[in-house]
């Protein structure tokens, strides 16, 4: 069993948390990642800073600018990942980002570096399934999961292409928009999750616009996992180098809400 599959096989929904690597500086990211683990996150997404984060809203856009302004490079992200793996042997780590930093040196190089650093999966926002050859085969050959995105506009005709070659979990983007700005209606999330789970055996995690424990709990009642990013990134923006404590507190509240979401009240 892989670290990712184990995270979704605990008999309860998983909390997936996102922060941007190198924000506010590469040296600060380790403490923030440790705070996510200490708070009870089941899967960690580490954002690779990029100049044009087209799927992201203002919070993560600004985090990318802070990280790049601090000089964060791909080598720093891989070093952060390797150090995280040494400290946390069992916690799944996923890199999330955009095609250019992942492919500029060649897909085989990137996949090999991910495997060497102990990265479990990769989410590449702007390589669609139709262009899988750009990155997918290299990741799969290196034993790194390619985690695909499904959206409210992914219809029944296209869903098989999204699922083909995807592993780890399926990330359902609950809004036809950018990160952190609005949340989809619960009914539409429930309908979409049911449709996706009927078509696939891999876990379905729902993200985009999930900010509070109550929102996370509602989604966790129907999904295999809940992804929270912008709310945590906002804490890094507010507290900077002192962000670990507030990040741990919010993660703990989110993890309790997600993990307890399906238990009947006494």
Residues identified as active-site: 45, 56
CA–CA distance, 107 with 86 (Å, rounded to integer): 24
Instruction: Please say whether the beta carbons of 178 and 207 come within 8 A.
Output: no
158: closest CA among 169, 147, 168, 148?
Answer: 148
Q: Is the dihedral of CA 173, 174, 175, 179 positive or negative?
A: negative
Give the orientation angle of helix 26-39 with respect to helix 74-87, to 10 degrees.
40
Rg for the chain, CA atoms, rounded = 17
Q: Which element (helix H / strand E) includes 228?
A: strand 225-228
Neighbours of 194 (CB within 10 A): 12
CA–CA distance, 40 with 259 (Å, rounded to integer): 9
Residue 97, helix vs strand vs coil:
strand
Instruction: Please say whether the beta carbons of 110 and 103 come within 8 A.
Output: yes
According to DSSP, the residues that pair with 60 across neighbouring strands are none
Structure token pair of residue 239: 């507290």
Tokens 């990160």 locate to: 179
Give the DSSP letter of residue 37: H
């Amino acid at each position: 069993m892989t670290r990712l599959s184990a995270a979704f096989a605990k008999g309860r929904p998983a909390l997936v948390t996102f922060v941007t690597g190198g924000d506010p500086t590469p040296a600060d990211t380790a403490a923030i990642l440790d705070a996510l683990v200490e708070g009870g996150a089941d899967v960690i997404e580490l954002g690779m800073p990029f100049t044009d984060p087209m799927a992201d809203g203002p919070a993560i856009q600004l985090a990318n600018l802070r990280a790049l302004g601090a000089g964060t490079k791909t080598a720093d992200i891989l070093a952060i990942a390797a150090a995280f793996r040494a400290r946390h042997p069992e916690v799944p780590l996923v890199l999330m980002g955009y095609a250019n930093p992942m492919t500029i040196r060649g897909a085989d190089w990137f996949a090999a570096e991910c495997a060497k650093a102990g990265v479990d999966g990769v989410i590449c926002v702007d390589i669609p399934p139709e262009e899988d050859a750009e990155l997918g085969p290299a990741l799969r050959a290196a034993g790194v999961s390619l985690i695909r995105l499904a959206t409210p506009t992914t219809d029944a005709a296209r869903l098989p292409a999204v699922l083909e070659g995807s592993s780890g979990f399926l990330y359902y983007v609950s809004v036809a928009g950018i990160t952190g700005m609005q949340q989809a209606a619960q009914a539409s999330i429930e309908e979409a999750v049911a449709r996706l789970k009927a078509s696939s055996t891999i876990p379905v995690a729902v993200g985009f616009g999930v900010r509070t424990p109550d929102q996370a709990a509602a989604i966790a009642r129907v999904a295999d996992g809940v992804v929270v990013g912008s709310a945590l990134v906002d804490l890094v923006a507010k507290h900077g180098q002192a962000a670990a404590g507030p990040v741990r507190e919010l993660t703990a509240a989110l993890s309790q809400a997600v993990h307890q979401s399906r238990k009947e009240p006494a």
